[in-house]
Structure 1
């Protein structure tokens, strides 16, 4: 292109990643996670990241699990939980031990994580209460938005919506 031609799908030099209808929501949630991380740092909860807490609390409540069981219990992929377990192992929060047969390994909390579990549960409860307080200040609660979006997606799934739009785009071809 010589700089005067239009880029496919838009203005000259357009970058579709500059558009992001829900990017502000993702950034807001990241800022809120950062605030939770600050709570952990202020409390000297070394090695704890907000992304680890659900799995740590689940293991504390239910006991050792395989990665497959843990992933199913938190509704995440095996791959994502496997990576998270590796990071938590590096932080000294979990270890893996042989399971019921030679093919399985169980994820177990370390003593360090067990000592933190009560504080992490308290933070989880406080975060849920703070979220409810924040949501009460909004004219349209985010939890309602999620319910309404699930209902809309039940009527027509996201995949089908994207596929229909791609079928109209000559660049998808």
Structure 2
């Protein structure tokens, strides 16, 4: 091919690597404290269930602003790791996700880790000239003005023969 490989350029590659490394550090905290089967992506749903009680997958997904599909996959993983189970809901057609005793025992540490992580992120934001949290808000505002889809589609349309 005469053109360069486009996959060799990625403006967000380092952002993804950074987030992966930060999540790995959070996971290491759990390992150091003897906690197995808990991944950083589990903590939000576990805390939410601990605070609000049993919820359907849809309600849990909505409360955490994620897709039903993503939450369904997370709940399946939480079940495999013995952190949640499902019980009959308000009617015979619904199932609610509830914490197991093991998950309830972990909640104080998980909530403490969440708070410590938020404090560490705030510290990082204060150390850099332009906080990552502000970048996220600014990008959201820019995308509200013109969607990422439209930005990509316009460029793609200009390239097609």
How does the TM-score come out when normalised to structure 2? 0.96
Structure 1 position 83 matched with structure 2 position 63: no
SS at match of 1:97: strand
CA distance in 1, matches of 2:73, 2:133: 29
Distance 1:154 1:81 in 2: 25
| Correspondence 1:57 to 2:24 | no
Aligned to 2:149: 159
Shift of 1:150: 1.4
Structure 1 runs of 4+ aligned residues shifted over 4 Å read none
Cα distance in 2 between the residues matched to 1:49 and 1:158: 30
Unaligned runs of 5+ in 1: none
How far apart are residue 17 of structure 1 and its match?
A: 2.1
Counterpart CA distance in 2 for 1:155 and 1:77 is 23
Aligned partners of 1:17 and 1:74: how far apart in 2? 32
| C-alpha distance in 1 between matches for 2:7 and 2:59 | 36
- Aligned equivalent of 1:113: 103
Over aligned residue pairs, what C-alpha RMSD do you find?
Answer: 1.0
Worse-superposed segment, 125-134 or 144-153: 144-153
Structure 2: runs of 5 or more not aligned: none
**Larger % of helix: which?**
2
Corresponding position: 1:92 with 2:85:
no
Aligned mates of 2:61, 2:141 — CA distance in 1: 25
* 1:30 maps onto 2:20 in alignment: yes
2:131 to 126, 132, 141: 141
Aligned length: 161
TM-score by length of 1: 0.90
- The SS at the match of 2:159 is coil
